[in-house]
Amino acid sequence: MTKPRSDVLSPPVDAVPAPAKVDVAESGEALPVVVKKAPPEILISAGEASGEMYAAQLARALKEKTGARLFGLGGPHMREAGVEVIADSSRVAVVGISEALARIPAAIRILKQLEQEAAKRKPKLAILVDFPDFNLRLARKLNAQGVNIVYFISPQVWAWRPERVGVIKGLVKRMLVIFPFEEKIYRQARIPVDFVGHPLVDMVHPSLTRSQFVARYGLETRTFIVALLPGSRKGEIANNLPRMLKACRRLAADLAPKFVLAAAPGLTKFIERYMREDLPVRIVEGATYDVLAAADLSIVSSGTATVEAALLGAPMVVVYRLSRLTALIARRMIQTSFFSMVNLIMNKKVVPELIQEGFQPETLEAEVRRLLIYAPAREQMKRDLKEVRARLGPGGAIGRAAEIIARML
């Protein structure tokens, strides 16, 4: 009889812990005790609010799949997900280049802190989520320690600083991207990459119908509703909201729409300082999806909110202003034809973009007026937004990302 091959029938040495004889039963036989392996340690780093939210969801999925212990840079969502937050992301997360200068000392301290913690804990993997100016520096430190790095939510190399693709190739083991056009960029650079879809596909759902929304907030059913989304940070609001309101005053003179402002949690009082009695604006806090879904048209600060609006099929005009210094630097670096994610995904102008000097009350009023009065333009935009939603994946992005990372462990 042929002797069985030991390399086929026997498990790998490190797959099954060797039993240890530590006790003796009444029969005199030794009782084996299986020694359990400690759960793997994973470093995870997320700086900005949206990335921190996605990182928290990914952390939950990984804990369920692998039992891993996660630690790193994050905020309240990650703490709630069971991540040991070594450093708080609020100390380093800002908008704009000039605004970031004041946070450099804190960023350097946190970078050193995470480097030391990684050297002590020796994590199996590091997951870096968006926030590239910080996370790519952290990647260099971790790479020098031999830590494998997964990057979830790509830096915007397609918009500016494309040379970062070369940096990523030298540091990152695998890219997990959330926009379909990003996959081609990394494949061409021969960087292992997976398009997992956008996490927002599973998250963006209104809780109220339009009629329920109108009833709850005392609006009129036969009047246009225009939503205002000036941003989720005070700096964005200060740059965007005054011009939005000037345009709204011009629209109120004859069209008389109802204006509803979707405020991020905790920002209502800050927003109220910009309000005047000559323009009634209903401020709704913490219900962005309901506001977008109920509105005939939305004025949206460029960023994650444009993707949320697209997923809801909500027609929009995209606006944005940066500080002068940030805009001056960005103008020299940005290399894309479009600014908003909706237009980038479709590679054509689906929604109007009013950026920097192009964002004036008069131009915003004209775009909003055109789209409100000419219904076929809004309907065409809705058809294009439906295609945007299809291109963002079928849902389950976080689960796919967690499965890939679990296999890497």
Digit-coded pLDDT (tens) for 259-270: 999 999 999 999
State yes or no: pLDDT of 76 exceeds 90: yes
State yes or no: pLDDT of 26 exceeds 80: no
Give the pLDDT band (50/70/90) at residue 325: low
What would the mean pLDDT of 35-41 be, rounded to a whole number?
80
DSSP structural state of residue 103? G
Give the pLDDT band (50/70/90) at residue 15: very low
Q: What is the mean pLDDT of the chain?
A: 88
What would the mean pLDDT of 298-323 be, rounded to a whole number?
93
**Confidence at residue 275, expressed as pLDDT on a 0 to 100 scale:** 97
Give the pLDDT band (50/70/90) at residue 321: confident
State yes or no: pLDDT of 320 exceeds 60: yes
Q: What is the pLDDT of residues 142-187, one digit of tens each?
A: 999 999 999 999 998 887 788 999 999 999 999 999 999 999 999 9
Among 116-125, 164-173, 314-323, which stretch is predicted with the lowest mean pLDDT? 314-323
Give the pLDDT band (50/70/90) at residue 10: very low
Helix, strand or coil for residue 162?
coil
Q: How many Cβ atoms are within 10 Å of 228's Cβ, its own excluded? A: 26
State yes or no: pLDDT of 17 exceeds 80: no
pTM for the full predicted model: 0.84
Structure tokens of 164? 């970062």
Paired strand residues for 125: 42, 148
Among 66-70, 157-161, 205-209, 345-349, which stretch is predicted with the lowest mean pLDDT? 157-161
What would the mean pLDDT of 33-47 be, rounded to a whole number?
84
What would the mean pLDDT of 176-202 be, rounded to a whole number?
96
| 8 A C-beta contact, residue 114 and residue 145 | no
- Residues 203-391, CATH architecture: 3-Layer(aba) Sandwich (3.40)
State yes or no: pLDDT of 200 exceeds 80: yes
Of 316, 366, 373, the C-alpha closest to 340 is 316
State yes or no: pLDDT of 31 exceeds 80: no
Q: Say how many Å lie between the first and final Cα of the chain, rounded.
A: 39
Q: What is the pLDDT of residues 350-366, one digit of tens each?
A: 999 999 889 999 999 99
Of 252, 311, 303, the C-alpha closest to 277 is 252
Cα(206)–Cα(308) distance, integer angstroms: 11
Domain ranges of the chain: 41-198+394-408, 203-391
CATH superfamily placement of domain 41-198+394-408? Glycogen Phosphorylase B; (3.40.50.2000)
**Confidence at residue 204, expressed as pLDDT on a 0 to 100 scale:** 97
The string of DSSP codes covering 26-86 is TTSPEEEEPPPPPPPEEEEEE-SHHHHHHHHHHHHHHHHHH--EEEEEE-HHHHHTT-EEE
| 8 A C-beta contact, residue 280 and residue 247 | no
| Radius of gyration for the alpha carbons in the chain, expressed in angstroms and rounded | 25
| 8 A C-beta contact, residue 191 and residue 173 | no
Cα(32)–Cα(256) distance, integer angstroms: 80
What would the mean pLDDT of 99-106 be, rounded to a whole number?
70
**Confidence at residue 35, expressed as pLDDT on a 0 to 100 scale:** 59
Structure tokens of 169? 């190739």
Paired strand residues for 399: none
